[in-house]
Structure 1
Amino acid sequence: MQNKFNHKIEKIAVSDIRQFDTEVSSIPNIIKLTLGEPDFNTPEHVKQAGIDAIIDNQSHYTPNPGIMELRKATADYYNEKYNLKYSANQVITTIGATEAISVVLQTILNPGDTVIVPTPVFPIYMPITEINNGNYITVDTSTDGFVLTAEKLEKVLADNKEKNIKALVLVYPSNPTGVTYSRQQLEELAAVVRKAGIWVLCDEVYAELTYNGQHTSIAEFLPEQALLVSGLSKSHAMTGWRIGYLLGPDDFIEQAVKAHQYMVTAPTDNVQFAALEAMKNGKEDSAVMKEQYLKRRNFMQLALKQAGFEVASPDGAFYLFAKIPNKFDKDSWKFVRELAKKAKVALIPGVSFGPGGEGYVRLSYAASMETLEEAAKRIQAFVDAK
């Protein structure tokens, strides 16, 4: 059989993060600080709403973009928290933020269109762009404190006029660095995006886990060009429920709901009622988790610095992006494999996050303080033994 598979699917690989997590899982007594998985459980009132929905026989198809009550609650939630002005009709409920990203790129890309992706970044946006017949340009932000400056964006746009740039991806607070953008930085970027007339895919799934000041959405400045992706996985410890959101202008939503419909038909019925409870009565659920994450961040940041790592300014999410100490080779794959084998601590190599990531490792502190304390001891001993 010729051309047995889609060539674009054959070209991409399963995420390095997942592959390495599986690779180290067989090591006895390994401490895995690899995945972005909250160690908290879903709040009780949200779980109960899901249980009640099952008992009430909420087990049928819903409208393609989700039940209207949830779409309205989602719009109200983001409008109240982040000074936005969305209506219920400008919301699509998705199967996690991942599906929302896929819907965005499938909706806006024509063959040959180009997406700008600042790196280091979670490695999802590039393969989905390729699957949807687009191209991408990566922009290394490691020399700018891991943020994309307006000046650098202007230069990338000017240097690539022939590439039909369609969108900018902006992820903040960032996975893997934990770095976020100030209001001023976002206003400056918004001015460049507005002038260029491109979309901005703003993945703000870690918005609730912003530690220094209030999160600002770039959608506040660019309501007609911003495609806002978020969800409840991180804010409400609901990764397994697979509930996300896509918010955007009317003309975009009108087209995006088609991609969503033919991708998944509709979100899971009973899960939407759990999400509704989270949106209406769980607006402060993330505060308790954020308090604990902040303590863990401070502990691990200090521990890594004492061990000789340089750590990017972690203003949000639950990751530390740490520069490998000078006494080691800067090959991040070599470092994490040696650390896993000798110290029984698993981190993710920085190179997995694209240009600017080599020489770094990502640590997820979404683990108990007891686990982190033991991990810190092991990492220190590993560094000392070099």
Structure 2
Amino acid sequence: MEYETPLFFHVMEYADRADRDVIDMVSGNPDWEPPQALRDGLHEYADLEPDQFQYPPSDGLRELREEIAARRGVDTEQVVITNGAGEANYLAMARALERDRGDEIVLADPVYPYYPGKTTMLGGTQRFVPTDETGHLDPADVRAVASEETAAIVVNSPNNPTGAVYPAETIEALVEIAEEYDAILVSDEVYDHYDLSGTFSSALELDSEHRIVTNAFSKSMAITGFRVGYAIFPPDLVENAKSRHMLVNVAGSRPSQYAVLQALRETGPAYYEQNRELLRERVETFTDALDAAGAEYSTPQGSFYVLARFEDYPGTLENVERLIDEAGVAGMPGEAFGDSRRDWLRFALVTPRVEEAAARLATYFN
């Protein structure tokens, strides 16, 4: 079986080799501070007894799972701590396919490239449903492709790369479709703290045995390197997920989980709101410059990405490399996210140099 390396790595390596200063707008690594309580938790951890430097429970520190369960309104036994949201989605999609209800995974287009990649790795087949011009998914379109072969419907809200935030009625309709076809809705909610619209709705608000919710602290606490995520499974699906997690990972990082627990307990809403406000300012700065450059663009309702289309400049890998060489701005080619946004480029607003990048783009395209 052939696995395709995601284009993220190619673009980042190309930008690193560039013979000039390049502003990185490729990867979703928040550039702002993590919670102070997280730093304090790490310092505290360093002085613990040696037994605390050994394997944690495979499914995660009990206290962290309890904290997540209490916040999300589920039973602790439904929560599995994972190696970031990436592993959480892998476990969720694997459980959906292991049920032998079909081998098709329904995905939105544009799509976060790791979903189709995981589908291939797990032996599934992709079925793509185009979103509308704002990035929203119409449940009627999903229903039109759903069948007895549908193992899972995978959605991401707030969305990467479109910035769309799916309203409650969309999530509810998708759960109903999953129930109708005995499939699983996998709801990746890793950007839930970056809802700029006030319309985000979690699939956990619906009581169903046909949905798995995944999340992580990578984005919300600006700690992508800590690799602490989680998945919340229906009771009848969780045990096999724990077994697969144990066989693949043995366990996660105890110090990372310890620090995240401290931060969860001690970080108030103000931390998250200040980061959303910073993001709102960056969206305005960047889209103003895109206006000046005569570009068409998406204004994100959530997450921290902007899709932009420049006249006669399709979103190919070749054009991304050209933009790095000639403008000093690194984005992602639209073709990396599927067929429907091939003419577009995606930019991540997680750099303090957003204003400078915007000015470079405006100059380059004028």
TM-score range, shorter chain: over 0.9
Find the aligned partners of 2:207 and 2:165 in 1 and give their Cα distance. 18
SS in structure 2 at match of 1:288: helix
Name the structure 2 match of 1:310.
Answer: 296
Q: Is the 8 A contact 2:167 2:199 kept in 1?
A: no
Give 1:1-386 correspondences, 5 Å limit. 8=1, 11-27=2-18, 28-57=20-49, 58-77=52-71, 79=72, 85-110=73-98, 113-141=103-131, 143-157=132-146, 160-161=147-148, 164-284=149-269, 285-322=271-308, 324-326=309-311, 328-368=312-352, 371-384=353-366
Kindly provide the amino acid, as one letter, of the partner of residue 85 in structure 2. A
Alpha-carbon separation, structure 1, partners of 2:91 and 2:5: 20
Q: Distance in 1 between matches of 2:136 and 2:238?
A: 29
Note closer, same or farther for the CA distance 1:378–1:113 as it changes in structure 2 (3 Å cut).
same
The separation in 1 between residues aligned to 2:207 and 2:317, in whole angstroms, is: 39
Deviation at 1:195, TM superposition (A): 2.0
C-alpha contact (below 8 Å) 2:105/2:154 kept by paired residues: yes
Letter in 1 for 2:80: I
Shift of 1:337: 2.1
Secondary structure, in 3 states, of the residue corresponding to 1:189?
helix
Structure 1: runs of 5 or more not aligned: 1-7, 80-84
How far apart are 1:222 and its partner, in Å? Answer: 4.6
- Superposed displacement of residue 46, structure 1: 0.7
Measured at CA, do residues 244 and 187 of structure 1 come closer, stay the same or move farther in structure 2, by a change above 3 Å?
A: same
The one-letter code sitting in structure 1 at the alignment partner of 2:142 is L
1:151 is displaced (CA, Å) by: 0.8
Measured on the aligned residues, the alpha-carbon RMSD in Å equals 1.6
Could you list the runs of 4 or more consecutive aligned residues of structure 1 that deviate by over 3 angstroms after TM superposition?
Answer: none
Give the count of matched residue pairs: 360
Unmatched 5+ stretches in structure 2? none
Call closer, same or farther: CA 1:321–1:222 in 2, change over 3 Å: farther
AA paired with 1:197?
D
In the TM superposition, residue 334 of structure 1 has moved relative to its aligned partner by 3.4
**SS at 1:251's partner residue?**
coil
Matched-pair contact (CA < 8 Å) for 1:179–1:312: no
